[in-house]
Amino acid sequence: MKPLILQAIYDYGWQPVGTFQDGVTLNNPNSLIQDETDGVWYRWDDASTLPKVVAPGSTPAGTGGIGVGAWQAVDISDVLRKDLAEPDGFKLIGQVPDIATLRTMAGENGKAVLVTEYRSGCGFGGGQLFWDSSSTDADNGITIFAVTGVTTGRWKRKYKGFIDAHWAGLPLNSATDDCYAQMQAIEQLMFNEHVSCYFHNGTYNIISQNMPWKNPDVPPSDYKNYGGASIICDGPGVIFKTTSSSGADVFNIMVSLILV
Partners of residue 35 on adjacent β-strands: 40
The pTM of this model reads 0.66
Residue of 175 and 65 predicted with greater confidence: 65
Q: Per residue in 112-131, pLDDT tens?
A: 999 999 999 999 999 999 99
Instruction: Note the pLDDT tens digit of each residue in 91-104.
Output: 767 899 999 999 99
Domains located in the chain, CATH noted: 3-84 (2.10.10.80), 99-158 (no CATH), 166-255 (no CATH)
Between 116 and 207, residue with greater pLDDT: 116
User: Residue 105 pLDDT > 50, yes or no?
Assistant: yes
Where is 255: in which H helix or E strand?
A: helix 248-255
At residue 80, the pLDDT reads 67
3-state secondary structure of 189: helix
Distance separating alpha carbons of residues 243 and 209, to the nearest angstrom? 8
How far is C-alpha 102 from the chain's CA centre?
Answer: 7
Is the pLDDT at 206 greater than 90, yes or no?
A: no
- Count other Cβ atoms within 10 Å, centred on residue 188: 14
